[in-house]
């Protein structure tokens, strides 16, 4: 359907790994192994947190929620990527606009939700370390549930509105230089106009879901560091040890987002560069998150080691 030179297309084309067509089998094997690792490691840490009553604390509730986001995001990307490699090799992949928008909505919502969960963790650590006498009163189970709902619902609401606006945009192009769909790339295919400007407004609002939590996270951990410098060495060591995994995951997400923004600014025309970097933006956080929380959180690592040793003995 064409109107005023604009094409309202019903399908889009993902470039995928078309520039690496000679390595489709290797890519399939690598992504399959990574997906299986993410499934196992995320599920293992979530299972341990849910099954151990000693870990039924606010911080671990946020950790389990973040890993659930990571697991869901991986399931949105890896199986589709594997099926594309299996059926189409490393060539161009056709995908319906509706399916592409659904994937973009879910990934954007999960990304914003992950940053908000990290800010909730920072708030939890700040109250626990800087105001320990009031922690039990300020962080109740009901307030933890409320924070979890806000962390999930606010990005989802913004994502729904943005996706509905994007679905009405006329498109000038139909090819995405990415291996998966995301909201901002779909909007970049539009021909402009009032609808694109309105959709761009919600893009700004969505980045607020990332920028404001990031600023709050940095402020909270700066305050924690300031308090630790004024306390004993043993107190500071224990406090910083509990904060380190959250900071590693925060920087992991932040670096991925910064690379994504840089890639969009540079608008690289080399498909090999674009597809490699965009795939790494999904791979790195989903693979490292369970490793960080499984190894660096002492309480979780103890149960992981015990569980794995029991299975090996049996």
User: How far are the Cα atoms of 76, 151, 251, 295 from residue 69, in angstroms, in the given order?
Assistant: 11, 11, 17, 19
State the helix-helix crossing angle for 233-266 and 271-296, rounded to 10 degrees: 170
Best-predicted range by mean pLDDT among 2-11, 19-28, 171-180, 247-256?
A: 247-256
Residue 196 has a pLDDT of 60
Give 24-63 pLDDT, tens digit per residue. Answer: 777 788 888 989 999 999 999 999 999 988 889 999 999 9
Assign 10 a pLDDT band (cuts: 50, 70, 90): low
Is a pLDDT exceeding 50 seen at residue 4?
no
Is a pLDDT exceeding 90 seen at residue 233?
no
Residue 50 has a pLDDT of 92
Percent over 90 (pLDDT), the chain: 22
Residue 108 has a pLDDT of 86
Is a pLDDT exceeding 70 seen at residue 245?
yes
161 against 92, higher pLDDT: 161
Is a pLDDT exceeding 80 seen at residue 282?
no
User: What is the rounded CA–CA span in Å between residue 146 and residue 140?
Assistant: 10
What is the dihedral angle through the alpha carbons of 193, 198, 204, 209, rounded to the nearest 10 degrees? -150
Per-residue burial over 268-283, b if 16 or more Cβ lie within 10 Å, else e, is eeebeebbebbbebbb
Give 247-280 pLDDT, tens digit per residue. Answer: 889 998 888 888 777 776 665 555 555 566 666 6
247 against 170, higher pLDDT: 247
Assign 290 a pLDDT band (cuts: 50, 70, 90): confident
Name which of 72-81, 121-130, 197-206, 266-275 the model is least confident about: 266-275
Q: What are phi and psi of 259, to 5 degrees?
A: -65, -40
**Stretch 202-221: mean pLDDT, rounded?**
81
> What is the distance of C-alpha 121 from the center of its chain?
15
Residue 5 has a pLDDT of 42
Residue 2 has a pLDDT of 42
Mean model confidence pLDDT for the chain? 80
Q: What are phi and psi of 52, to 5 degrees?
A: -100, 115
Name which of 13-22, 70-79, 302-311 the model is least confident about: 13-22
User: What is the rounded CA–CA span in Å between residue 291 and residue 305?
Assistant: 13
User: CA-based angle 204:62:184, to the nearest 5?
Assistant: 25
Residue 298 has a pLDDT of 79
What is the dihedral angle through the alpha carbons of 121, 125, 128, 129, rounded to the nearest 10 degrees? -170
Give 120-143 pLDDT, tens digit per residue. Answer: 999 999 999 888 888 989 899 999
Residue 18 has a pLDDT of 52
Beta bridge partners of 171: 7, 190
Assign 6 a pLDDT band (cuts: 50, 70, 90): very low
């Amino acid at each position: 359907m064409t109107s005023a030179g604009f094409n309202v297309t019903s399908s889009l084309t993902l470039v995928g790994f078309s520039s690496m067509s000679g390595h489709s089998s290797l890519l399939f094997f690598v992504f399959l192994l990574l997906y299986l690792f993410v499934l196992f490691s995320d599920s293992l840490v979530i299972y341990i947190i849910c099954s151990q009553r000693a870990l039924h604390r606010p911080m671990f509730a946020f950790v389990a929620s973040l890993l659930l986001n990571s697991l869901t995001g991986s399931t949105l990307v890896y199986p589709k990527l594997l099926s594309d490699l299996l059926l189409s090799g490393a060539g161009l992949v056709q995908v319906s606009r509706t399916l592409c928008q659904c994937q973009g909505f879910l990934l954007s919502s999960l990304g914003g939700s992950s940053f908000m969960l990290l800010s909730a963790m920072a708030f939890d650590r700040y109250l626990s370390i800087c105001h320990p006498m009031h922690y039990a009163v300020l962080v109740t189970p009901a307030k933890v549930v409320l924070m979890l709902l806000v962390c999930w619902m606010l990005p989802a609401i913004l994502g729904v509105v943005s996706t509905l606006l994007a679905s009405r945009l006329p498109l000038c192009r139909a090819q995405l230089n990415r291996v998966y769909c995301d909201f901002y790339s779909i909007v970049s295919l539009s021909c402009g106009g009032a609808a694109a400007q309105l959709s761009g407004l919600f893009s700004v609002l969505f980045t607020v879901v990332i920028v404001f939590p990031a600023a709050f996270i940095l402020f909270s951990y700066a305050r924690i560091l300031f308090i630790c410098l004024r306390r004993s060495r043993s107190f500071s060591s224990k406090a910083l040890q509990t904060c380190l995994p959250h900071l590693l995951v925060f920087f992991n997400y932040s670096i991925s987002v910064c690379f994504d923004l840089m890639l969009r600014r540079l608008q690289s025309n080399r498909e090999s560069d674009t597809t490699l970097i965009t795939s790494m933006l999904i791979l790195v956080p989903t693979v490292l998150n369970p490793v960080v929380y499984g190894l660096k959180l002492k309480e979780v690592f103890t149960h992981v080691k015990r569980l794995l040793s029991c299975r090996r003995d049996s």
